[in-house]
Amino acid sequence: MRKANPSNRKDGRNKGWSQRKTGMFSTGAFFKILPLCSLLAVVAVTGCSNGTSKTESHYTSAYTAEDANPELAAATNRFALDLYAKLEEEPGEADPGPNRMISPAGIGIALSMLKGGAEGETERQMDAMLHLNGMSPEVLADSQMILRDLLRGSDPAVKMDIANSLWSSQGFEMDKDYVEQMEKSYGAQVQAIDFSSEQAADILNKWASDNTAGKIPKVIDPPLSPDLVLLLMNAMYFKGDWSEPFEKGQTEDLPFYPEIGGEVTVPTMRQSGEYAYLDGDGFEAVRLPYGETKNFGMILALPDENSSLDDFKQQQLPKFNEWSQNLSDNEGSIELPRFKLKDKFSLKATLSALGMTDAFDDEKAELGGLVAGGAKPGSIFISFVTHDTFIEVNEEGTEAAAVTVIGAETTSAPAPREPFDLKLNRPFFFAITDRTTGAIVFMGEVGNPAEE
């Protein structure tokens, strides 16, 4: 149970946020819930770009909200909730800290690209994990294309794009139909690269840095595996100012109460006004909008003092799609710590625990759709999935970035053997055995084949 601040207790369930909330967040509660809810609230609150400026030309989408596939949006959020919950069991970090930030939309896009080349049981497992309900690769690709286009043009005051790329080893020929679909629907950059070269990691890291405004400069550590044949990369970058920025003069150092330990002092922003707010069952939630249209927003959820973050995650996070629609305008005030964090995850175990097992199996993986002419099960498999993230929240707004990398390798070929020259021109032994039982059925020797 967190340490309570007597001056900040909630005196009534319907008084809004007019009273100070300092001391009611735990470090884990604030940083773990905030980014996830922010992303889910708009399907993806991150994108990829090289910066933001209200004066630069803004992209206008060719689609309207009615063109978006609601099934994809619902599937994306269900996968996001599943993934976030599974990180409790398989955190993807050697030493998980009290803070966490992921981009489930970015991970979902990268996995959707991979699914376009999956076949058989591998495809079925990915379909189930992503909650796509048998959505065809063509419909999925077109739906992702429309979603990406709508996100880019959602608000002229918010910068958000999504960048995708495919990097194949020299001599590895990808399926032409697959490449065309990735270029058309995902806007993917497709390029051959010598993974064995000393420059390969630098080239890949530069792509990540260029597409996250330098916020994620390194996602690959050399040397790369000699069996690596394909990398799928998704980069997300978001930069948006609050619709109502916090006044820097209102920021002051205030106590913050972690769930474990005493208190810490952090720069805390303060603001009052009218917000979309919910006094929920065991928690309160508020939405802070970005930009001119306010289409993008960050949802902050705070467990009650007599509750805990674990209670919230178990009882209310699975219902996010339901209660996040019930926020309504309410006068109140908010205190929000400034923060900046980075994170890195290895998601192989997490995704496997969610049911995507065969893709990582070097005998069962069915990814023939990636390869020209197809490929036998196990000849190409996924060796790793990494996810790097960044977020900074201050008085002006929020900057967030994420890069997902999926690595595909070919099964290592056995080392070539020297040709042999066996001449059975001397007495020799023979045996006929049963592989099923291991039994020797016949055995003998030949001393003179000329005699019967």
Q: Is the pLDDT of residue 5 over 50?
A: no
Inter-residue contact 188 to 211 (CB < 8 Å): no
Q: For residue 26, what pLDDT band results from cuts at 50, 70 and 90?
A: very low
Q: For residue 445, what pLDDT band results from cuts at 50, 70 and 90?
A: low
Q: What is the pLDDT of residues 332-368, one digit of tens each?
A: 999 999 988 899 999 999 999 999 999 999 999 999 9
> Where are the alpha helices (H) located in 235-374, listed in sequence order?
309-315, 320-323, 348-353
Q: Is the pLDDT of residue 131 over 60?
A: yes
- So what's the pLDDT on residue 384? 97
pLDDT (mean) for 385-408: 95
171: alpha, beta or left? (left if phi > 0; alpha if psi -120 to 50)? left
- CA 10 to chain CA centroid, nearest Å: 36
Q: Is the pLDDT of residue 106 over 50?
A: yes
Which domains are assigned to the chain? 1-421 (3.30.497.10)
Average pLDDT, the chain: 83
Q: Is the pLDDT of residue 23 over 80?
A: no
- Secondary structure (DSSP) of 125-137: HHHHHTT-TT--H
- So what's the pLDDT on residue 8? 38
- The model's pTM is 0.81
Q: For residue 37, what pLDDT band results from cuts at 50, 70 and 90?
A: very low
Q: For residue 10, what pLDDT band results from cuts at 50, 70 and 90?
A: very low
Percent of the chain with pLDDT over 70: 79
Inter-residue contact 105 to 113 (CB < 8 Å): no
Looking at residue 324, what DSSP letter applies?
T
Q: Is the pLDDT of residue 415 over 70?
A: no
Q: What is the pLDDT of residues 203-227, one digit of tens each?
A: 999 999 999 999 999 999 999 999 9
- So what's the pLDDT on residue 32? 41
Q: Is the pLDDT of residue 427 over 80?
A: no
Among the listed ranges 108-122, 318-332, 375-389, 427-441, which one has the minimum average pLDDT value? 427-441
Q: For residue 99, what pLDDT band results from cuts at 50, 70 and 90?
A: confident
pLDDT (mean) for 12-21: 32
- So what's the pLDDT on residue 430? 54
Name residue 300's beta-bridge partners: 286
Residue whose token pair is 């009052």: 272
Q: Is the pLDDT of residue 230 over 60?
A: yes
Task: Provide the token pair at 301.
Answer: 């959820």
Radius of gyration of the chain (CA): 27
Inter-residue contact 316 to 280 (CB < 8 Å): yes
Q: What is the pLDDT of residues 167-186, one digit of tens each?
A: 999 889 999 999 999 999 99
Q: Is the pLDDT of residue 452 over 90?
A: no
- So what's the pLDDT on residue 47? 33
Q: Is the pLDDT of residue 73 over 70?
A: yes
Inter-residue contact 82 to 313 (CB < 8 Å): no
Among the listed ranges 64-68, 145-149, 255-259, which one has the minimum average pLDDT value? 255-259
- So what's the pLDDT on residue 4? 35
Q: Return the sign of the alpha-carbon dihedral for residues 5, 6, 7, 9.
A: positive
CA distance 190 to 185: 13
Higher pLDDT among residues 411 and 240, named by residue:
240
pLDDT (mean) for 393-407: 95
Residue whose token pair is 């978001």: 238
Inter-residue contact 387 to 109 (CB < 8 Å): no
- So what's the pLDDT on residue 424? 65
Q: Is the pLDDT of residue 67 over 90?
A: yes
Task: Provide the token pair at 279.
Answer: 């006094």
CB-based contacts of 370, cutoff 8 Å, min separation 6: 117, 174, 175, 178, 230, 380, 408
Q: For residue 240, what pLDDT band results from cuts at 50, 70 and 90?
A: very high
